[in-house]
Structure 1
């Protein structure tokens, strides 16, 4: 067969249409409009937020689906086709410059999202995300409503949990600063309240903790740990003032385990998120030592009960005595 321009064109078209059928046609024919177990229709407010999400190109940095190979990032559920029934246009995105948002509903309370959209550096100091303050309060509320719906019925359960604990956190805050701290500490399991920091507060550890604080904490809790960072005006209850914690040491000496538990799990209902997916264990302990030494004036590092020192640890004696009883 002699190759001619006409034959070349016909062959190219056949390859194109065959590829299109395989890539687009077959998936379209096999897709089922059967809702998944978490699906629910979007409200009018959430629909408006979805339009804003599409219009402003949020999918250029965020995806809206979790894959099987995403288990290692702490995923709770793999996305299903039935999660997106009736979503028009269904823009799932493929970029992960920012986190995947498919199950983001209820991960944070509404006011955290408001602060985040106003200026992402308020809640994530090293975020690359641009500010969306130009949208105005009303459209940010709609965008927040949409993000809080991501995850369907599972998101609704998480949002309800946020609102339940926010009511309790607000009541504790309004009761006064000491009552607020006592309430927060009372939510930490007993075993953590009597657990000292297992890592020494060496110079290197404190420098590591300082870097972590600057990367994750400073815009809420402020440069001096007084809870007056730029995000404070957008979240309620406001961030905790670490400098008041000296009189709240458990048994006059333990605080490291409390820091660890709250950094790891966050405080649901408040602007304090969990960091168990962001920070490894040693980084959380380093951060706890930094908070203790520089803002509380004390660390319980290397107190009993303690085990065998890790092989990399330098010789270190704790130079930070607990406060006298009458100092609390």
Structure 2
């Protein structure tokens, strides 16, 4: 047949209509998918809203279909989702978010306000305002959106995609027969947990931290703080979620897809370690036994010098202090909820200088390999043998006192601070109030809240923490400021005074120095009660003991007496008269005596928030709420019964500074 123009046109039209028939009309005639639970008939209002959605061009930017690769948008869309849609509004592109499952995720009022002013909720949005629509039209669109998808509120983590859904830990724990007490290592390694710990230390530690709270040494460098495994949703997160996130990483963060580097078994091992030690911990006896193999009978080959101790201190401050505390008493800022808790090096179990219970090998082995059934990292993966031996020297000399202190360096050869520090001075941005919190969290437990060197953690240290009262009346010269910055930054050689430059930002160091100089050199006396006219801050005025106990809490005044003896008596005195031993010779003098009419809400407020422009700190940053209630009721009883007194610190066991989940008390400057 000769290809004439009419034949070409007619032939083209036949092909065109054939394609349209096959691609458009035939599917519509034969399409009869099984209805899903997502599909639903529209009410009259929802149908009007759907028409408004379409006629205003919302589908140009918002799709309503989820593909297999669309992680986090919900289940993959099925044909049966659209049986009531004619025509289907699948959309054209995703300039805005997909709306397949938007129902119930936001209120109808939110949707209306967002349509009127999108930038009210998303400042960078390019969505136009639909304020020109009538109230009824806006309500119709909101009703349509409110009913889209599975209509489940999104108050949970993103569910894993199909290939990870319903996965569970495939590694079975081996069954063992109880035969001896030192089974810790055997059961730990048989369960694959040592392998998991080593993977964690090697791949995860720098971001998530050795206590699993997302505050590793690299965490501050990241836009998104790494996950805190001790909190929800991780404490109750199912296995498939764990495996998905470890395997694929987390979009929008630097969490990498570990499926590219770790085998399936290794991923499950590190997940198991994180779950057992951080997310779902329970107390187990490490039962580690004695050093064996290559660690048996080792002795420290590194010469003990003041410089060696200083190098060990820097490592301890940088890596160990967060759990063990800078005074070595196990009160580190990030040690909360670890099972078992970090040890207290001052408890006497390590022996004496003449009769040590632990050998060099004991310390080196534990530092190198960690402990079974604990979060103690495998530091051989991060530090050289020489560095680990320096840590052994530091712990034995400074904390357990089981090794002779080294000879001081010759006169003139002691440590000199870098010359640049000699020209430093307090910046204009320092804040006394922020410095007071920094001092409370990092210094008071050694130096004492009164600055008298009688903190609750530092009394066993040798040499003793510095008594800042001796600085009373000294000028706050620029040379003094520079000297304090250098001491706080580098620590003081041959003492437990930390090298805070390894941990605290410079502005925090300056603010602690500003507080120290203001409180203990020039003084911040408050010799009259600030109760004044009896006013209480609005956010505390409704506090009551009945509400607290009504929620199932218990008031323990014996515990309140312990808290008072540890944190309050040094300034307020045994009877609340402001004549505590820490006030003797203090530039800030003693606090005013307690008035007889203090209500419990006022007492709680001042313990919680502190007293402005005074050395009375805000204990919300150091004590859990239960301790503050206990000491509040104890104090109210004291005020109501003049002449009563509290046991002194020597009569009553010291209150253990166990912070709540939001508090971060740490070590102290010497």
TM range (shorter): 0.5 to 0.7
CA distance in 1, matches of 2:212, 2:69: 35
SS of the residue aligned with 1:107?
A: coil
Q: Indicate which of 80, 84, 91 corresponds to 2:82.
A: 84
Report the equivalent of 1:317. Answer: 503
> Do the aligned partners of 2:40 and 2:84 also contact (CA within 8 Å) in 1?
no
* Runs of 5+ unmatched residues, structure 1: 163-193, 213-255, 263-275, 283-299
Residues 48, 195 of structure 1: CA spacing in aligned structure 2 closer, same or farther, 3 A cutoff? farther
Report the equivalent of 2:114. Answer: 116
Report the equivalent of 2:598. Answer: none
TM-score, reference length from structure 2? 0.27
1:198 aligned onto 2:215: yes
Report the equivalent of 2:125. Answer: 127
CA distance in 1, matches of 2:97, 2:232: 23
Report the equivalent of 1:175. Answer: none
Report the equivalent of 2:141. Answer: 143
> Do the aligned partners of 2:65 and 2:90 also contact (CA within 8 Å) in 1?
yes
RMSD after superposition? 4.3
Report the equivalent of 1:238. Answer: none
CA distance in 2, matches of 1:133, 1:308: 61
Report the equivalent of 1:42. Answer: 42
CA positional deviation for 1:35: 2.6
* Runs of 5+ unmatched residues, structure 2: 157-210, 234-248, 256-322, 324-332, 339-374, 383-500, 513-608, 610-616, 622-670
CA distance in 2, matches of 1:144, 1:124: 18
Instruction: Summarize the alignment of residues 223-302 of structure 1 with structure 2, pairs less than 5 Å apart.
Output: 257=228, 279-280=252-253
> Do the aligned partners of 1:61 and 1:98 also contact (CA within 8 Å) in 2?
yes
Q: How many residues align?
A: 213
Cα deviation, 1:25-73, whole Å, max 9, x if unaligned, reads 3212221165323322112221121111011100110111112332xx2
CA distance in 2, matches of 1:308, 1:108: 46
CA distance in 2, matches of 1:31, 1:110: 33
> Do the aligned partners of 1:202 and 1:316 also contact (CA within 8 Å) in 2?
no
CA distance in 2, matches of 1:7, 1:63: 41
TM-score, reference length from structure 1? 0.52
CA distance in 2, matches of 1:33, 1:197: 47
Cα deviation, 1:81-125, whole Å, max 9, x if unaligned, reads 222223233222121111111111122233432332222222222
CA distance in 2, matches of 1:200, 1:25: 62
Q: Which protein has the bigger helix share? A: 1
Residues 146, 281 of structure 1: CA spacing in aligned structure 2 closer, same or farther, 3 A cutoff? farther
SS of the residue aligned with 1:77?
A: coil
> Do the aligned partners of 1:63 and 1:100 also contact (CA within 8 Å) in 2?
yes
Residues 277, 99 of structure 1: CA spacing in aligned structure 2 closer, same or farther, 3 A cutoff? farther
CA positional deviation for 1:303: 3.7
User: Greater Rg, structure 1 or structure 2?
Assistant: 2
Q: Larger relative CO (CA 8 A, sep 6+): 1 or 2?
A: 1
Report the equivalent of 2:619. Answer: 326
1:3 aligned onto 2:3: yes
Report the equivalent of 2:32. Answer: 32
SS of the residue aligned with 1:76?
A: coil
1:20 aligned onto 2:20: yes
SS of the residue aligned with 2:153?
A: helix
Residues 33, 203 of structure 1: CA spacing in aligned structure 2 closer, same or farther, 3 A cutoff? closer
CA distance in 2, matches of 1:69, 1:49: 29
> Do the aligned partners of 2:114 and 2:120 also contact (CA within 8 Å) in 1?
yes
Residues 139, 10 of structure 1: CA spacing in aligned structure 2 closer, same or farther, 3 A cutoff? closer
Cα deviation, 1:225-246, whole Å, max 9, x if unaligned, reads xxxxxxxxxxxxxxxxxxxxxx
